[in-house]
Amino acid sequence: MPRVTVTVRDSGGRTATATADYAIAPPVLGGYYLSGNGDPTADMAGGNFRSLTQYRSFADGYLFPGWNKPWLLTLGRNGFAINMVLELKHYGAANTGPQTFTVDGVGYTVPAPAMTIQQRPGTTWPKAYGYGQVLAGLCDGLFARALSQYRTMGFPVTIQLASELDTDHEFGTTESGVAYDWADSDARAVQAMTYIVNWFKARPLPAGTTFSVGSGGFDRACFRRTHPESLMSRLDFLQWNVYATDPGHTALARFRRTKDWAVADLGPVALARPVIIAEWGVRVAEFPDQAAWIATVPPAIAQLNAERGPRIVRTNYFNSGWGTLSPKATGLAALRAAYATKPYG
Amino acid sequence: MAAPTVSASLNASTYSPGDPMTLTLSYGDPDTRPVTVTIVVTDAQGNSSAPVSVTAVIDPLTVTVSDDSGRTWTRISDTGAVAVYRAVA
């Protein structure tokens, strides 16, 4: 850490000295996600992309690097910061039953997922392994399978547990026939996330492995409930997602929203953690000129990082869903230009 | 003769590369006082010049700023009690 030293000397040779220490932060990492966990290599070519988000379900037998994803190994070995979102959510309708498999010579049987999440009225509620199932140790085989595959990759990643706990819990959850409201679901998730992080940390991990828990960051009370100091002491990052979906949304206001709640509500352990924006995007319906909005992101991040509170260290553009770049080439050019700019460049 | 005092503070603890950095010093010494000397020259005939005055500082202080990362700090202002320096991160 650099130090500036000030000395004051009088004519008699008597001196007084004061020091002030400071840090120079590395550039913010500009990142990307391509729809469907697609190969982003071509989209990122020629740009200052250094960070990537990926999504996997613990139910999947191929978490690391993922089915037909040799490119993820290439990116990781080239020094990309990989944010692996590992979810208890079951992605598909196929095979939601129990699983029996062998990991490093040890056989495991994991029961069928017993929880439903994202219970938005009028939609089909996704299944997920239940927080109670996790705490009962019934999902340990899933974690063992993930860890075994992770160890073969040869580089560390950030493991983000859950994509958005607020989205998962917004309409309550149900496990084994018992309904839990939003707040109860948050409390149960904190216990389960703590269990999972502790499970991984109790075993040898690739050096540099880091952890976070996921949130959309759109609900202040949920963000506070899901970031107690006891859990944050086991995590390395804060994380939230950022979208512009209203014509009035500015980059500064959107990236600031959850940070302001964090600074107001969270404890010193949480606030000592840097921030990963695992997803950010601007919806073309409200912002036909996505490139113009994207160009306002670098100064917004620079301003927020100059203010008190946790620093944003990675921002991964979500080229899917709300963030879909249209036209794609124009959007990618805007991302390249943004990531060539301070605080990224 | 008393010993001088100094305190230093930066406007942030962490900077991004290229950011402006501001260092504010507060310093002083009880012995440091400005004095004004007024001189009148009178000849043998009793003619006196117009008075001129000069000021001087008793026990002036010398301020030095160094940075172990080699960063150059430039003085922007100095009142004699508060000095402001700038550097680029």
Q: Which residues pair with B67 in a beta bridge?
A: A4
Q: Which residues pair with A3 in a beta bridge?
A: A21
Q: What is the pLDDT of residues A255-284, one digit of tens each?
A: 999 999 999 999 999 999 999 999 999 999
Q: Are B16 and A25 an interchain contact pair (Cβ–Cβ within 8 Å)?
A: yes
**Type of residue at A304:** L
| Number of domains composing chain B | 1
In whole angstroms, how far apart are CA A16 and each of A5, A129, B24, B58? Answer: 10, 63, 15, 18
Tell me whether B4 touches chain A (CB under 8 Å): yes
Cα(A204)–Cα(A151) distance, rounded to whole angstroms?
9
* CA closest to A11 among chain B residues: B59
Q: Which residues pair with A83 in a beta bridge?
A: A53, A158
Cα(A271)–Cα(A266) distance, rounded to whole angstroms?
7
State which H helix or E strand residue B84 sits in.
Answer: strand B82-88
Average pLDDT, chain A: 97
* CA closest to A345 among chain B residues: B17
Size (chain A), residues = 345
CB-CB neighbors (< 8 A) of B1 in chain A: 10, 12, 14
Q: What is the pLDDT of residues A163-188, one digit of tens each?
A: 999 999 999 999 999 999 999 999 99
| Closest Cβ opposite residue A4 in set B19, B60, B67 | B67
CA quadruple A197, A54, A140, A192: dihedral sign? positive
Contact yes or no for A344/A29 (Cβ under 8 A): yes
A residues 228-247 near B, CB within 8 Å? Answer: none
Q: Are A22 and B9 an interchain contact pair (Cβ–Cβ within 8 Å)?
A: no
Q: What is the pLDDT of residues A182-202, one digit of tens each?
A: 999 999 999 999 999 999 999
Q: How confident is the model at residue B1 (pLDDT cuts 50, 70, 90)?
A: low
pLDDT of residue A93: 61
Q: Using the predicted structure, report yes or no on whether residue A92 has a pLDDT greater than 80.
A: no
Distance from the first to the final alpha carbon of chain A: 22
CB-CB neighbors (< 8 A) of B71 in chain A: 2, 4
| Closest Cβ opposite residue B5 in set A16, A26, A27 | A16
The average pLDDT across B17-31 equals 90
Q: Which long-range contacts (CB under 8 A, 24 or more apart) does A98-106 make?
A: A99/A59, A99/A61, A99/A141, A101/A61, A101/A141, A101/A145, A103/A141, A103/A144, A103/A145, A103/A148, A104/A144, A104/A148, A106/A144
Q: How confident is the model at residue A12 (pLDDT cuts 50, 70, 90)?
A: confident
* Alpha carbons within 13 A on the beta-carbon side of A337: 15
| Closest Cβ opposite residue A9 in set B25, B61, B69 | B61
The average pLDDT across B39-46 equals 91
DSSP characters over B44-71? TT--BPPPEEEEEEES--EEEEEETT--
Tell me whether B12 touches chain A (CB under 8 Å): yes
| Closest Cβ opposite residue B6 in set A8, A25, A27 | A8
- DSSP letter assigned to residue A242: E
More reliable by pLDDT, A311 or B19: A311
Cα(A10)–Cα(B1) distance, rounded to whole angstroms?
9
Q: How confident is the model at residue B17 (pLDDT cuts 50, 70, 90)?
A: confident
**Type of residue at A149:** Q
Alpha helices for chain A (secondary structure H): 41-44, 70-77, 131-135, 140-151, 165-169, 182-201, 220-225, 229-232, 251-265, 268-271, 290-294, 297-306, 328-339
State the residue for tokens 């512009």.
Answer: A244
φ, ψ of residue A85 in degrees (nearest 5):
-85, 115
Cα(B86)–Cα(B77) distance, rounded to whole angstroms?
10
pLDDT of residue A333: 98
Q: Are A14 and B25 an interchain contact pair (Cβ–Cβ within 8 Å)?
A: no
pLDDT of residue A94: 67
Cα(A53)–Cα(A317) distance, rounded to whole angstroms?
9
pLDDT of residue A306: 87
- pTM of the predicted structure, to 2 decimals: 0.86
Tell me whether A24 touches chain B (CB under 8 Å): yes
Range of weakest confidence among A213-222, B14-23, B26-35, B63-72: B26-35
- Picking from A140, A132, A87, A136, the residue whose alpha carbon sits closest to that of residue A114 is A132
Tell me whether A68 touches chain B (CB under 8 Å): no
pLDDT of residue A113: 97
Range of weakest confidence among A21-35, A113-127, A193-207, B38-52: B38-52
Tell me whether B8 touches chain A (CB under 8 Å): yes
Q: Which CATH architecture has domain A28-339?
A: Alpha-Beta Barrel (3.20)
Q: How do the domains of chain A map onto residue ranges?
A: 28-339
Contact yes or no for A86/A56 (Cβ under 8 A): yes
Tell me whether A216 touches chain B (CB under 8 Å): no
CB-CB neighbors (< 8 A) of A22 in chain B: 10, 12-15, 21
Q: What percent of chain B has pLDDT over 70?
A: 99
Peptide bond just before A299 cis, omega within 30 deg? no
Contact yes or no for A192/A185 (Cβ under 8 A): no
DSSP characters over A132-175? HHHHTTTTHHHHHHHHHHHHTSSS--EEEESS-HHHHHTT-EEE
Contact yes or no for A31/A15 (Cβ under 8 A): no
| Closest Cβ opposite residue A22 in set B4, B14, B65 | B14
CA quadruple A231, A234, A237, A239: dihedral sign? negative
More reliable by pLDDT, A317 or A93: A317
3-state secondary structure of A306: helix
Q: Containing domain of residue B31, as a range?
A: 5-88
CB-CB neighbors (< 8 A) of A301 in chain B: none
Dihedral of CA atoms A131, A134, A139, A145 in degrees, nearest 10, equals 100
Contact yes or no for A333/A325 (Cβ under 8 A): no
CA distance, residue B73 to nearest chain A CA (Å): 9
